[in-house]
Amino acid sequence: MRSNDEIIQLLIQLKDQQNISISEIARRVGMAKSAVSRYFNKTREFPLNRAEDFARALGVTPEYLLGLENDSNEDKLNKIFRKLDGPKQNEVIEFAEFKLKAQESKVVSYPEIHTIAAHRIDETVSTSPEDKARLHSKLDEMDRKFDEQQRRIKAAEDAKRGSSDE
């Protein structure tokens, strides 16, 4: 099992790798920033009963955090990735890139998906113009939302590209 200093050092390493602030960790674990800061400054012992909360916040298992297992999520992902064939590896890469773009642009990961089905119970009754107008209005609204989301994603990508060019 890791010592208190080793646990804190690992927490700092994970925090830095993921570019997460102490404030964000505090929010994720439901603690005051000052308390979390004391752990990171080693002025207070790390609370072992909160290991699960901190592990979840940083994407590792409590066992890994405490030194009871050696595999981090990154190690597990690498092991799985190496077992996949080429096309499946490409799918994983594309998915990971999509998730990262969504995270960086603060846009919902998956576009809202709706299934619309219109059925007539009685074939002899036609759809009213009002019903058709409502259906078309809903479809137009969904198109606008999708287009807006795509604009936000593109703007975020452009902004990121612009900041990395400087």
Per-residue 3-state assignment (H helix, E strand, C coil) for 87-113: HHHHHHHHHHHHHHHHHHHCCCCCCCC
Domain boundaries, the chain: 4-71, 84-165
**Stated pTM of the model:** 0.46
Block residue for tokens 């960790």:
25
Separation CA 128–CA 16 (nearest Å):
60
Q: What is the pLDDT along the chain (166 residues), one digit of tens a residue?
A: 889 999 999 999 999 989 999 999 999 999 999 999 999 999 999 999 999 999 999 988 888 889 887 666 777 787 788 888 888 888 988 888 888 887 777 654 455 555 666 666 667 777 778 878 887 888 888 888 888 888 888 888 888 777 665 5
CA angle 155, 160, 162 (to 5 degrees): 90
Query: What's the fold here for domain 4-71?
Result: 434 Repressor (Amino-terminal Domain) (1.10.260)
